[in-house]
Amino acid sequence: MRFFYLILLIIFNFSSFAQWRSYYPEGKISKKEQQKISDEKNKKIFASDLFNALKAKSLEDYDEALRYFDKCQQTDPTHPLPFYESAIINAGNGSLEIAAEQIKNAVKLDPENNWYLLLYAQILFNKQDFINSAIQYKKLISTDPGNEDSYFKLAEAYIYANQIRKAIITYNDLEKYKGINKMLSMQKHSLYRELNDIRGAIKELKALLNKFPDDVEVMEILAELYLLNNEKEKAFKLFAEISAINPDNGRLYLTLADYYREIGDEQQSYDNLKLAFKSKTLNIDAKIRVLFSYYELIGLGGKIRDQAYELAEILLKTHPEDLKPRAVFADILYIDNQHHKAKEQYLIILQIDKSKNEIWNQVLFIQAEENDFEGMLKTSQEALEYFPADPLFYYFNGFANRQFEKYEQAIVSLETGVEFVVENQKLLLEFYSSLADIYHTKKQHNLSDNYYEKALAIDSNNVLVLNNYAYYLALRKSNLERAKKLSFRCNLLEPENGTYQDTYAWVLYALKEYKMAEKWLLKSLLNGGDQSPVIVEHYGDVLYKLGDRKNALKQWKKAKSLGVASEFLNQKIQEGKLYE
């Protein structure tokens, strides 16, 4: 029954409503009401799109965010926020032109909004439109005069626009608000210097010193300016004040050293330089930079050389715990051709600090110059423990092992090290030529020839590779035409070398061109070959082939008197016959 009554109630109400509508028909909606309904609808659409845009932005889906922000702009072009948010995204993507237009619209719609002004100024600056960027920063300062960052940004924009005076004025405006500040004054001083306005720079520093009368750094810079402006009395008065405040002021002595050097008083300059080096307050790197300037002059000897040594010794005494002075001292010894003493200093450094591969390099190069192969082997092995990917250390290790005829170890080092060579064709060539020489010694000729060809592919004019490859081919009597071309090229590149002339002669000998071989051997003998037992023996062999046995025997005997030549030399002399 309840359900029945409910149905009756619904029918009754519906009937009543229908009757009400028939007695009171609806009128037409006015345009104002229609606009109101449309506005409410657009507000809801705008709010929904804005929500979706901000959500997409927070999820870093910037393309989707821009799509929704664009819909917002279409729905309500009077609202600045979608333009502002779009500008942020486009600026971040590097689309500065689009970003500039969007933020410009936002600023037009809400010119008092500092966030919009700030972004507009930043985008213009990034577009390198420094003048218009400065205009926006000035607006920001007018609306928020207490914001220091806006002053600094405005000054920066003027500096980039090369309007240095306006930048100084901007700092002055900030100073009126903030008071005299060292950072501001030093920045203004730098700008005056950039304008070559020494008087302006001096005035700025004097004002700073009135506020902070005991600031030694400012006093030093002001003294230097006085010297530049030829106001020596004022400069030296300041130097005296600095000395009273800080008698161990190394920077002061360095400044005086520069000044005296410029006016030609070398002794006063050097005396002040020594005082600077004795100072513990002066940064060690500043002292080392001074010593670097001596490097190229040490070769002149005399006073300059003595000064370099004295300053290095002062540096060692002043900074005994620092390894940099010892490294500089070692460099000076090396430049002065005192290589063994330099090596001793480098080794002292390595006992304390093994982390500098350039020090290991220096030791190994000196050991190579001294033919200290035992030391080279030990040093390279230790260096590889700390630098297992440095190809140069593998090269030295392979080179040293080769000297001790440890060919397998040499090959392992060289073939490992060559894999670490990157963009260094000269070093790669050294690896290839060394491997070629070792494989020749082990009579693995295919591998030897392959590495020689690789070396020549890097540098077809390398005379050592050309000569060795040609000579070994001649000894094996293999690919002699190739050997002939290689050796001839070598002699074109270095025509007065007796060793290379002997190689070409020996290739001709292998080709049985004995008359030409004799001609080239005579050239070789004139270029120092007459002191080589091997070359003299070769000459005897050629003479024998040409039928001049008497003179052949004479040359063999001479070769023996000069030293060790071939294993057959004694037999040749005893029997008067050629053995090969």
pLDDT tens digits for range 489-548: 999 999 999 999 999 999 999 999 999 999 999 999 999 999 999 999 999 999 999 999
Lowest mean pLDDT among 40-44, 345-349, 373-377, 490-494: 40-44
Task: Summarize the confidence of residues 351-376 as an average pLDDT.
Answer: 96
Question: What pLDDT does 9 receive?
Answer: 34
Q: List Cα–Cα distances, 458 to 82, 301, 340, in angstroms.
A: 62, 40, 34
Question: What pLDDT does 158 receive?
Answer: 96
136 touches 160 (CB < 8 A): no
Task: Summarize the confidence of residues 372-386 as an average pLDDT.
Answer: 97
Torsion sign (Cα): 182, 186, 192, 195: negative
**Does the pTM exceed 0.85?**
no
Question: What pLDDT does 10 receive?
Answer: 32
Asked if pLDDT for residue 131 goes beyond 90, the answer is: yes
pLDDT tens digits for range 548-566: 999 999 999 999 999 887 8
Phi, psi torsion values for 194, nearest 5 degrees: -65, -35
DSSP states along 357-417: HHHHHHHHHHHHHTT-HHHHHHHHHHHHHH-TT-HHHHHHHHHHHHHTT-HHHHHHHHHHH
Categorize the per-residue pLDDT at 235 as very low, low, confident or very high, splitting at 50, 70 and 90.
confident
pLDDT tens digits for range 146-192: 899 999 999 999 999 999 999 999 999 999 988 998 999 999 999 99
DSSP 3-state of 25? coil
Asked if pLDDT for residue 11 goes beyond 60, the answer is: no
What does the mean pLDDT of the chain come to? 90
Asked if pLDDT for residue 17 goes beyond 80, the answer is: no
Give the Cα separation of 340 and 50 in Å (integer). Answer: 77
Question: What pLDDT does 28 receive?
Answer: 60
Categorize the per-residue pLDDT at 296 as very low, low, confident or very high, splitting at 50, 70 and 90.
confident
Give the Cα separation of 457 and 451 in Å (integer). Answer: 10
Task: Summarize the confidence of residues 119-147 as an average pLDDT.
Answer: 93
Asked if pLDDT for residue 197 goes beyond 60, the answer is: yes
Give the Cα separation of 316 and 332 in Å (integer). Answer: 13
Asked if pLDDT for residue 199 goes beyond 80, the answer is: yes
pLDDT tens digits for range 399-438: 999 999 999 999 999 999 999 999 999 999 999 999 999 9
14 touches 21 (CB < 8 A): no
What b/e readout covers 358-383, taking b as 16+ CB neighbours within 10 angstroms?
ebbbbbbbbbeeeebbebbbebbeeb
**Which of 199, 182, 180, 190 has the alpha carbon at shortest distance from 159?**
190
Question: What pLDDT does 253 receive?
Answer: 87
Phi, psi torsion values for 279, nearest 5 degrees: -70, 135
**Which of 332, 331, 328 has the alpha carbon at shortest distance from 319?**
328
Give the Cα separation of 291 and 329 in Å (integer). Answer: 9
153 touches 141 (CB < 8 A): no
Q: What percent of the chain has pLDDT over 70?
A: 93
Asked if pLDDT for residue 22 goes beyond 80, the answer is: no
**Which of 221, 211, 143, 214 has the alpha carbon at shortest distance from 187?**
221
